[in-house]
Amino acid sequence: MTVEQQTTPLRVHSVGSRLDRVDGIEKVTGRATYAVEHGESAGIVDPLHVWLVQSTVARGRVVGVDSRAALAHPDVVGVVDHTSSPRLADTDNGELAILQDAEVHFRGQIVALVLAETPEAAREGAALVEVSYDEEPHEAELREDNATHRPDSVNPDMDTDTDEGDVDAALADAAIVVEQSYRTAYEHNNPLEPHATTAWWTEEDGRDVLSMFDSSQGVHGVVQALAPMLALDPDQVRVRAPYVGGGFGSKGEAHAHVMAAALAARTTGGRPVRLAVTRQQMFALTGYRTATISHLRLGADADGRLTAIEHRVQEQTSRVREFAEQTGSPARMMYAAPHRRTSHRLAVLDVAVPSWMRAPGEMPGMYAHEVAMDELAVSCGVDPIELRIRNEPDTDPETGKPFNDRRLPDCLRRGAERFGWSSRPSEPRATRDGEWWVGTGVASATYPAMRMPGNAARVSALDGGRYAVGIGCVDIGTGARTVLTQIAADALGVPPDHVDLDIADTRLPPASVAGGSSGTSSWGSAIVAAAQRFRADHGDRPDAGVETTASAAADPAAEEYAFHSFGAVFAEARVHRWTGEIRVPRLLGAYSVGRVVNPVTARSQLVGGLVMGLSAGLFEESWRDPRFGHVVTQDLATYHVASHADVLDVDAEWLDEADELFTPMGSRGIGEIGIVGTAAAVANATHHATGVRVRSIPITADRFLE
Ligand code: MOS
C-alpha cells in the first residue's frame, strides 16, 4: 500500500558530494547488460532475431508481400506482415498500431518482420522479402505555405496560442522593432546505444504475460502504451531497463519497433525475440526534432525595454500521429513586455512522427528568441547582457506568479566575469587574429522545473543497518542511480554504501519518465517521502524486513510560485576570413538550477548539453528528400555530431543555492538546460566576429562567403 507523505527538507551529507558512479565498475568492465544483451541468467534462452522490413514509398498501400524467397533461407523461421500479424485491440496510437492494415503513412514504416535464428539471417531474410505497393502522391516538405494546421495544444499540454495586450499597436508605437525569421534544422537523437528490445511471452496462472528488456527512458510508460493495445492488464506486462545507453528523449515513449518485438514474440510459441534497431533505421523510426520556422517581432523603446514580443512558430507533424513542439513557450515567460503573442502552426506531412529531443521547445525557441535579442541589442546600442537585465520581469509574465527564484542576472554577471566580457569591443567585426575574425556572444537559457505525478518509492530494512530502496525509474546514463543512492542515504541517515538501490523494473513502485529534466526531482522526492515515513513509523533501528511504500505529497505553498531554472551561455567564435570555417574555442555556461546533488554527474549533464547545443549550432542537420520522403543523412558520417576535434574549452558552473520549496533535496533539474540558448550564443558570437547575421542553424562555412 502506498501512503502519501509530506516531506521536509533533506539534511544533506552525501548530497552535494562527488560520489563515484555506483554502477561505474559494471559499465567499464562490460558487465552491465543492455536491452539485447540479456542471456540465460535473465531467462533468455534460445532467442530468435527480428529484422524490420520498411516501406520504400512515402504514401500508399501494400498490395503484396512475397516472402517465398525469405522463407527459403535455411535460418529464417517466419515472416509477419499485415495479413498475418496478431491483431491489436486498440489502434488509436497510429505510430504503434503497426501491421494492422495495408496503409503506408511514411517512408521507412514497418511493413513486415522477419524472424530468424541469427541476426545475419534475419537481415538477409528481410532483404529477400518482396513488397509491392500502390503508391500515392505524398507531401514531405515543411514550408511556410503549408504549415497552417492549428493543433489543440502543444507538448506536453500547453496552450497552442497566447495573446496578451495589443501586440500590433505596441509594435506600431515602438521606437525600435526587430522583425526577422529564424530556422532550425531537422535533428535526430543519436544516443550511443541504438534502440533495442528483447521480448517474450509466457503463461502465468492461466494469463498471458509479456516480458521485455527495452532500451527505454521509462518502463512504466512502455506498459501504459502497449498493454491496452494488446488487450492486457498492466500487470500482464513487465518491462525492465537496467542499463540504457542514452536517449535524449527518443526513448521517452515506445516507438513502433517495441510493438514489433511484442508482436513478433507472439508468433514464436514462447521463444524470446531480440530486435536491435540499426543506426540507419533510427533515422526513419525512432523520433526526431522537427525543423522549425520562427517569426519573431520585438518592439522596444530607445533604451531597449521591450514593449512587445511576438513569436509565431511553424513546424511539422505527421499524418499518422500528432506531435506539436512547444517552440513558442519560452517567449511566454522569458522577458517582461506588456504585449505578447505566441502561436504554433503545423504542416501535416507524410513523414514519421516527430518527438522529444533534448529540450523540445526551449531549444529551437530560445535559439530564435535569443538571436533576436542580440539583434535588438545591436539596434539600440545596448550591451547584450545589460539588455537582458533591463528586461527582467518582476513576476512570471505568463502566470503572474512570483518566481522562486529567478537568478538570470546573477548567471549573466557571474558568467561575464569569468568569461572576460568587459573587454569585449561593442562593434562587430572589430577583432582579427591572423586569418580569423574573432567575436564573442551571449544568450540566456531557461528550462521549467518539473516534478511529475505518479511516483512512489519503497524502503525496506535489511540486516546490519542496511536498506533496500526500490523505485521503477531508469538511469539512461545520467547518473540517476548514483544521485538517488545519495538522496536515499541522506534521507535514511546512513552512508551511501548502506543503500541497495533497485530501479528500472515495472514490478517496483511506479516512476515517471526520465524526461523533462524531472527525474531527480520526481523520483528523489518519492524516495525522501518513503524514507521520512519509514523513519517516522519504524525509527532508526528497524527490524529487518519492515517496509514502507510512499509517494510525496505536493507542498501547497509551491502552488504560489513559478519554478524555472536559468542560465547564461557565453561563446567565443573564430571565423576564417577566406574559408568561412567556424571554430568555437571557448564555451561557458553559468546556471541557476537549485542544489546540485552530485557535482561530477551534474557537470557532465551541463557540459553535455552545451556540446549538444554547439553541435546544433554548427553541425547537426538531417536532410529529408521531399521527392522520396526519407532522410538521406542516415548515418554518423553524413549526420555529423560534434566530435572531439570540434569541442575545445567547454565548461559549466552553477550558483550555490537550494530550492527547498520545489523539492526536499533543493534540486530543480539539469538534464536539458545546457542545450538551451547555446546555439544562439554561438550564432551571436559569429555575428560579433564577422558582422554577418546568419538566421538559421546549423551555421555552415558557406554562409560567410555569400
Ligand atoms: Mo527529454 S527530450 O524531455 O527526454
Specify whether 706 is located in the same domain as 563: yes
Task: Based on the fold, state whether residues 445 and 482 are members of the same structural domain.
Answer: no
pTM greater than the 0.75 cutoff: yes
CA of 354 to the centre of ligand 1 (A): 13
Tell me, what CATH number does 530's domain have? 3.30.365.10
Q: Same domain, yes or no, for 674 and 693?
A: yes
Instruction: Say which residues have a Cβ less than 8 Å from residue 588's Cβ, sequence separation at least 6.
Output: 415, 418, 419, 569, 570, 571, 650, 651, 652, 653
- The answer to whether the CB of 670 falls within 8 A of the CB of 518 is no
- Cβ contact 445:566 at 8 Å: yes
Residue 250 resides in a domain: no
What pLDDT is recorded for position 410? 98
Residues 570 and 641 both lie in one domain: yes
Structural contact between residues 27 and 243, judged by C-beta atoms closer than 8 angstroms: yes
Q: Which of 672, 702, 684 is nearest to 612 (CA)?
A: 672
Q: What is the pLDDT of residues 115-139, one digit of tens each?
A: 999 999 999 999 999 999 999 999 9
List phi, psi (to 5°) of 3.
Answer: -105, 155
Q: What's the total number of domains in the chain?
A: 2
Residue whose CA is closest, atom 4 of ligand 1? 249
Question: Do 683 and 609 fall into the same domain?
Answer: yes
| CA 217 to ligand 1 centroid distance, Å | 9
Q: Given 510, 525, 553, which residue is the final one in a domain?
A: 553
Say if CB 308 and CB 80 are below 8 A apart. Answer: no
Judge if 430 and 567 occupy the same domain. Answer: yes
- 563 C-alpha to ligand 1 centroid (Å): 18
| Cα torsion through 130, 134, 137, 139, rounded to 10 | -50
Pairing of β 436-448 and β 564-576: antiparallel
- Residue pair 79/62 in contact (Cβ under 8 Å)? The answer is no
Residue 706 has pLDDT above 80, yes or no: no
Please name every residue paired with 587 in a beta bridge, in sequence order, or none if there are none: 571, 650
Report the atom number in ligand 1 closest to the C-alpha of 252.
4
What percentage of the chain carries pLDDT values higher than 70? 100
pLDDT in tens, 231-243: 999 999 999 999 9
Query: Which of 155, 188, 356, when mutated, tests ligand 1's pocket best, judged by the most ligand atoms within 8 Å of its CB?
Result: 356
Which one of 521, 553, 585 terminates a domain? 553
Is 147 domain-assigned? no
Q: Which cell is 525 given?
A: 522526492
What's the per-residue H, E or C state across 22-81? CCHHHHHCCCCCCCCCCCHHHCCCCCEEEEEEECCCCCEEEEEEECHHHHCCCCEEEEEE
The number of the ligand 1 atom at minimal distance from the alpha carbon of 217 is 4
- Cα–Cα distance between 227 and 210 in angstroms, integer? 9
Boundary (domain end) residue, out of 527, 553, 579: 553
CA–centroid distance, residue 247 to ligand 1 (Å):
8
Residue 27 lies in a domain: yes
Residues 691 and 619 in one domain: yes
135 in a domain, yes or no?
Answer: no
* pLDDT band per the 50, 70, 90 thresholds, residue 554: confident
Domain boundaries, position 664: 396-450+558-706
Ligand 1 nearest-atom number relative to CA 249? 4
Q: What integer pLDDT is reported at residue 701 of this predicted model?
A: 98
Q: Are residues 598 and 629 in the same domain?
A: yes
All cell numbers assigned to 557 = 505553498
What single letter denotes the amino acid at residue 367?
Y
Q: Are residues 492 and 470 in the same domain?
A: yes
Question: 580: alpha, beta or left, given left = phi > 0 and alpha = psi -120 to 50?
Answer: left
Annotated catalytic, 672? yes
Task: Determine, yes or no, domain membership for 130.
Answer: no
Q: What pLDDT score does 478 carry?
A: 97
Ligand 1 atom nearest the C-alpha of 247 is 4
Q: Is residue 163 part of a domain?
A: no
**Percent of the chain, pLDDT > 90?**
99
Residue by residue, DSSP assigns 642-693 as: --GGG--EEEEEE-----TTT-TT-B---TTGGGTTHHHHHHHHHHHHHS--
Q: How far is the CA of 580 from the centre of ligand 1 (A)?
A: 33
582 in a structural domain: yes
Instruction: Let me know whether 442 and 460 are in one domain.
Output: no
Which atom of ligand 1 lies closest to the CA of 359? Answer: 2
Could you read off the pLDDT of 485-526 as tens digits, one per residue? Answer: 999 999 999 999 999 999 999 999 999 999 999 999 999 999
Residue 384 domain flag: no
For a ligand 1 pocket test, name from 189, 358, 452 the mutation site with the most ligand atoms within 8 angstroms of its C-beta.
358
520 in the same domain as 446? no
Give distance in angstroms: CA of 474 to centre of ligand 1: 13
Using most ligand atoms within 8 A of CB, pick from 670, 672, 673, 675 the residue to mutate for ligand 1: 672
Q: What is the pLDDT of residues 452-464, one digit of tens each?
A: 999 999 999 999 9
How would you list the strands of the sheet with 162-164, edge to edge? Answer: 162-164, 339-349, 306-318, 292-300, 176-184, 696-697
443 and 571 share one domain: yes
Q: Which of 37, 253, 672, 706 is catalytic?
A: 672
Residue list, ligand 1 pocket, CB within 6 Å: 217, 249, 252, 356-358, 360, 515-516
